[in-house]
Structure 1
């Protein structure tokens, strides 16, 4: 009887622990970096619009949904703007969700901020530490439970870091989010973190680990396929550790690495990996671009425009706010968001772009892959590609913005002026003295310290000859910021512009090269993709296959909408294949599924129109399958994938199976031998598995007769 009572008590405790636990959070409204200059000289980063919503709203919305009880927003630079925004928002009036601000003008790093919070004595228990540029929809329940259980057993377990399996293109040195390649050593059993390094240049292609370290920790796996989400569950000791160590400034470079290297204090850091949930931080312009696309493509649901901004949604990822004026001849392409009160003129084409509130876009304008904030004016005949335009920018008629351009607040681009790739323009002149500490986001604290005009000035309303342009545009306004030689070589890395084709080839080839791990006496190190036997391993494999298919589909759709060359798509799919450790047949199946789904999603009113859609897509993109169809078995896999589509996600194809099969045969995607072998393999199958073979009997008979005639 006693044993049964104890068992019930144990179950009750576990259920209680898994329930949402009200907890406090610290939100750092300063990122303490300079990556968004010159924009952040005028506005705090957390108030910059991300798909027409201030970044901080995504973070607060997530914390509220995760049952956080109280949030302390730490404000430093531009603190008045942040406090004013929060006071005018609805965040201060939410039931069961308290938002309070802590203001300081003397902090220059995250370490300084946490030391000040410790002095205020507002945190007494475990808390969430997050920056105000974080977008996530993850549930904290399981991560909090794991942290609490570890704390129960070991008081030295002071932090749990949330990590996520990287999206495939992040495996290369140039990551999808524009951050350095990250290396972590994690115990596969306990999830304890033993090693953390994000300075890829220090490795020079190799990583050295001590033999004794590996001998003492045989279950360690080395990862460079994990993304740090910068969401931390911390014990109160974290704040006191910052207070005791004034050299702790950066959360990762100083604090995390400092604890991992400290053998005396014995504090431990653990990880919690999320899989299907979303979490990412807007760290630079490239991650700004990537996360914006994820929001538009609804990876962040429910943090999407129709929920946050009550926008109407249309097919192909088009969002439209109220009071939008659009000419009938204007064309709004896929994955585009248009803000309230904006207008679009005749014959203008907009695609893959975010348009803010109150923008005026003229006639015959082309906008592709741009982020246009509020009250921007773009006159007739302009061409903009992959650029950022802040509030109040004016682009006069005939001007061209080449990929990577950033125009800060109220900049004016003159008539017919060509703004070169990666140009940065601001009404504020570039500081002569750059901040020596890279932790600093803005040292001005609402004042422009050490800012004097540079040679890249505007005189008499014209931009200087630093523009690569045949003519100087009339009526221009702004300073052209220069970049150092080092930054100039890799300016593509942190830009919203697509990675140049030459870099894609270079990075994809680098992904094929195994990480050279130099170990003393060459002890064996478990690989991160090694799975334990059992059902959990099988489930992980299925999950990986689903994620892989979604990634390939997203890559294919982007290629269709942006008209990317086939060779570049194949390079990206190869990178995905390596990341997920998939076979060629998996690539063929995933690409085929993407094509069939696109045909199904393309408007049609009859079976004949669906076949026509399929024919058009296969004709245009079918060659993508060729590199992955190396043999008859691979082609049979495609047929079986089509069977699966007909029975599950695309039942509308079921009565058209043989017509599509013949279409694939006529397009030289599927060979005669593959169809005949597929039919032969089905001979001993159950009747339920022969549905499509029977539907294809006449076609199969025709192939057999044709084969006999050839013999």
Structure 2
């Protein structure tokens, strides 16, 4: 658009932006530059490992496409040929408005090396998304990208925006549910600028030190240890040049982010964008693999879920209780497939076999009387009769002979054979490859070659040879198998524990931490947090300059991480998403039930959390008077009546709802206080609460102080009417018989 002013032409700013527009680009790192997925990643790149029966990289590419990224450069080094071959035959090549180009390297040993090489290729021409190929997300980029661009207009030093979200601690260990290190971040609450970043691996015994200059230069600082780094970054082109100018920058967080935060000369700034209802997480270890797999099955990642064809043809269907399966499986009538389980194409399941909370891949053969719980069975696996697996990962082509057992935390790499009746000890890792004698750094390339002392399995070795526990003469020349390590007829080596011992194995495993070790892990994960030259803060505290004191009494600070609080927040977020996205009640029930399992909560906890969410929705709906609020409550409870009643199977849950409402009126939602009796009556009329629950609640308050009986007194007339209804029922019971009594009683409940 051209505008004339004073005889001169001027191109408008919008037109200039249109002319200068470059496609939104993305850099996807297909190398993790770590060894947490060994021994599996010695044979296959991490991004091609199946995640709920789809390669990890497909989830990342599907999100990038949906988020509006038009050009993606996939950097691959370790097993680069496998990545290039896969992408070349995938649906991602040839997509309109979405191009995928691979950049190959054979000598990069870190993310820093990768970004320096991409800079040399001169392919990035504007802001870009930096992401790892093991990241799953369904967030919208629109707001975060707009915030980044607006900041760039005002301040050219704003070179990066990091995506973060509230972390969800594990209910049993008080550690991150993803098995990652505890993260400390200092953020300017007004500008969202990141001022401090440190994970627990970088400091000693939970002690962190904040420079007083941070407080001098920033009026307010929010210190958080309850945030999760999603490893999704919006970057300006300067980020690539900064890596090129600083060869010390190898790791994205430990070196680059922390380096910029302490650099006073250049003045570059990093900001954060926090997401709330969306999903984003990175698969960093086996525990996060397990957690994110469950999140996908429980549909937190929608539309990236098993029954939506986001990466190709999909024949998987969602059945009852969160069970996914295709029609093309062979299942015995006596076999039981439990909730939150996925079964792939071409798999057969024998008699009396039980599978629950697990993923089974394509082309698997599972015998009779097999028990599989909380495990991940990849493709073309054979499990003979009588085997037992709990919280294990079994890679492609594995054979478990009859009666063999996998204890919790076991990892079986590709084509391993477990001997008959052999019990693989907990947390063992078994591979056809011998364990490297030299433990390299966590930033080494994850591929096996002669220089590292590891020999790849020869391509001439057939699957049938492996399944029979035998090797061809040619392969036996290059590798000697310690068959006794995995039982008679078994093939594979049991690797010794990594440096750091059992604690690291427990923290990163797909298996729950053993009960007898739980106490010491909790203590290890809850070291007291000390802040040098500053006051000690609870999680997510706000620090002000005038609060700095050396006289702070550390005993006054308590760290309370109540799992019920996290659970209630998760339920509320689930409910609000259902409201805004018009989600069916059955799907809400499915998600809340999965949360209940995850947090180990009771049905009463679910009832209270759902009721709180419904009432909070009513309270947050705009209203101008208590009478209008009362009408809103009636409308909301009517709409979600089915959901409320589902979680009220007995009087205990109904009483919990009354107690929750009483708590809300006294604390978080005092606006409901004058409406307590009316709301109680409404819930009774809607058949959500029974008169017996109301009377039991009132009777429990008889010996309480007057301050605790405020709402009982307010509801006195209604309680008396409920009591009269009960007496009437008893009277009819004494005077009536058979069908007449049943009809009268039914009418009484319908018309109180």
Output the TM-score relative to the length of structure 2: 0.73
Q: How does 1:242-641 map to 2 (within 5 A)?
A: 242-308=243-309, 309-435=314-440, 437-444=441-448, 449-451=452-454, 462-464=483-485, 473-484=487-498, 486-502=500-516, 504-505=518-519, 515-520=529-534, 522=535, 528=540, 546-547=569-570, 549=572, 557-558=593-594, 569=601, 589-590=608-609, 618=650
In the alignment, the residues of structure 2 paired with residue 146 and residue 135 of structure 1 have an alpha-carbon distance, to the nearest angstrom, of 22
1:202 is displaced (CA, Å) by 1.9
C-alpha distance in structure 1 between counterparts of 2:660 and 2:227, whole Å: 31
Write out per-residue CA displacement over residues 82-109 of structure 1, whole angstroms, 9 at most, x where no aligned residue: 1110111110021100001111111111
The answer to whether structure 1 residue 698 and structure 2 residue 722 are counterparts is yes
Moved more, 628-637 or 232-241: 628-637
Shift of 1:462: 3.1
Deviation at 1:397, TM superposition (A): 1.1
- How far is the alpha carbon of 1:560 from its aligned partner? 7.1
Does residue 24 of structure 1 match 2:25?
Answer: yes
Could you tell which deviates more after superposition, 542-551 or 113-122? 542-551
In structure 2, the CA distance between the partners of 1:224 and 1:38, relative to structure 1 (3 Å rule), is same
Question: How far has the Cα of 1:293 moved from its partner?
Answer: 0.5
* Residue number in structure 2 paired with 1:671: 700
Tell me which residue corresponds to 1:44.
45
Equivalent residue runs for 1:228-247 within 5 Å: 228-247=229-248
Q: After TM superposition, give the deviation of residue 662 of structure 1 in Å.
A: 2.6
Cα offset for 1:214? Answer: 1.0
Whole-angstrom distance in 1 between the partners of 2:210 and 2:504: 29
Q: Is the 8 A contact 1:461 1:475 kept in 2?
A: no
Give the structure 2 partner of residue 662 of structure 1: 692
Query: Which of 378-387 and 487-496 deviates more?
Result: 487-496
Q: Which runs of 5+ in 2 are unaligned?
A: 6-11, 457-475, 545-564, 576-588, 614-641, 731-752
What is the DSSP-based 3-state SS (H/G/I as helix, E as strand, rest coil) of the residue aligned with 1:589?
helix
Work out whether residues 220 and 525 of structure 1, in 8 Å CA contact, stay in contact via their aligned partners in 2: no
Q: 1:150 to 1:359 in 2, by over 3 A?
A: same
1:220 to partner: Cα distance: 1.3
Secondary structure of 2:70's counterpart equals strand
Q: Supply the distance in 2 between the matched residues of 1:412 and 1:623 (Cα, whole angstroms).
A: 53
Query: Does the C-alpha gap of structure 1 residues 307 and 244 become closer, same or farther in structure 2, counting only changes over 3 Å?
Result: same
The answer (yes or no) to whether the contact 1:221–1:527 under 8 Å persists in 2 is no
1:8 is matched with: none
- CA apart distance, 1:69: 0.8
Give the conservation status (yes or no) of the 8 Å contact 2:365–2:380: yes
Partner of 1:577: none
Structure 1 residues 554 and 680 mapped into 2: Cα distance closer, same or farther (>3 Å)?
A: farther
CA contact (8 A) 1:205 1:516 kept: yes
Q: Is the 8 A contact 1:170 1:225 kept in 2?
A: no
Matched, 1:135 2:168: no
Secondary structure of 1:92 counterpart:
coil
Contact 1:363/1:381 (<8 A) preserved? yes
Aligned counterparts of 2:437 and 2:293: Cα–Cα separation in 1: 32
Q: Offset of 1:447 from its aligned partner?
A: 5.4
User: For 1:48-107, what per-residue CA distance to the aligned partner results, in whole angstroms no more than 9, with x for missing partners?
Assistant: 000000000000000000111100001101111111101111100211000011111111
Determine if contact 2:169/2:175 at 8 Å carries over to the other structure: no
Moved more, 202-211 or 48-57: 202-211
- Asked if the contact 2:205/2:527 (under 8 Å) is kept, the reply is no
- The answer to whether the 8 A contact 2:226-2:539 is kept is no
CA distance in 2, matches of 1:670, 1:501: 39
SS state of the match for residue 656, structure 1?
coil
CA change 1:139–1:28 in 2 (3 A) is same
Taking structure 1 as reference, are residues 513 and 121 closer, same or farther at Cα in structure 2, changes over 3 Å only?
closer
Aligned to 1:151: 152
CA contact (8 A) 1:196 1:257 kept: yes
Residue deviations 1:564-619 (CA, integer Å, cap 9, x gap): 9xxx658xx9xxxxxxxxxxx9988228889xxxxxxxxxxxxxx9999878x659
Distance 1:544 1:612 in 2: 20
Deviations 1:114-154 (A, max 9, x none): 11111110011111110100100011111111111111111
Of residues 27-36 and 322-331 in structure 1, the stretch that sits farther from structure 2 once superposed is 322-331
Q: CA RMSD in A?
A: 4.6
Give the whole-Å Cα distance in 2 for the aligned partners of 1:225 and 1:411.
Answer: 40
- Aligned mates of 1:555, 1:92 — CA distance in 2: 35
CA 1:35–1:511 in structure 2 vs 1: closer, same or farther (change >3 Å)?
closer
The alignment covers a number of residue pairs equal to 623
**Equivalent pair of 1:375/1:393 in contact (CA under 8 Å):** yes
Bigger CA radius of gyration: 2
Residue 623 of structure 1 deviates from its aligned partner by: 13
1:543 Cα shift? Answer: 12
Cα offsets for 1:149-196 (capped at 9, x unmatched) = 111111111111111111143997631111111111111111111111
